[in-house]
Structure 1
Amino acid sequence: MRRTVTMVRGAARDLRDDERGDVPGWVLVTLMTAGLVVVIWALAGPALSNLFEQAIARVSGL
């Protein structure tokens, strides 16, 4: 029984240590995605806004 508990604790410790190195990767992916959204929004925002206004004008007949 004691051997099993020791093995489980060792496996849990290994899993915990393996996950620590992955956090900076997720931070980098999140920051890069946010940067891409900002760039695409800056480039396409005015065109999309104009397209939306035209569509609403056609539907409402203004």
Structure 2
Amino acid sequence: MCATTVFAALPASLVGGISERVLRGGRERGDVPGWVMITLMTAVLVMGLLAVAGPALEGLFNQAISRVSK
């Protein structure tokens, strides 16, 4: 199947986007600052949850281990 046949079956707006990416060499930069912000916010959220729930989770873990080892 040749590329012309594949492109003929796709909508024109999609073909334009594909051909533009091909002409640029297939490199799409994306939104780097957005991904950095999401990653940092996720890390802060996980650290906050662990700080609040850490002792309770540790107690549950120790209780479960002590029940298994009996």
Query: TM-score by structure 2 length?
Result: 0.59
1:44 equivalent to 2:23? Answer no
List structure 1 segments (4+ residues) > 3 angstroms apart after TM superposition: none
Give the CA RMSD over aligned residues: 2.0
**Residue matched to 1:57:** 66
Q: Is the helix fraction higher in 1 or 2?
A: 1
**Residue matched to 1:7:** none
* Percent of paired sites with the same residue: 65
- Rounded Cα–Cα distance in structure 1 between residues aligned with 2:42 and 2:62: 28
Query: 1:38 aligns to what SS in structure 2?
Result: helix
C-alpha displacement at 1:59, in angstroms? 1.0
Query: TM-score by structure 1 length?
Result: 0.66
Q: Please, which runs of 5 or more residues in structure 2 have no aligned partner?
A: 1-18
| Alpha-carbon distance change, 25 to 50 in structure 1, aligned in 2, over 3 angstroms | same
**Residue matched to 1:32:** 41
| Alpha-carbon distance change, 23 to 51 in structure 1, aligned in 2, over 3 angstroms | same
- Rounded Cα–Cα distance in structure 1 between residues aligned with 2:69 and 2:33: 49
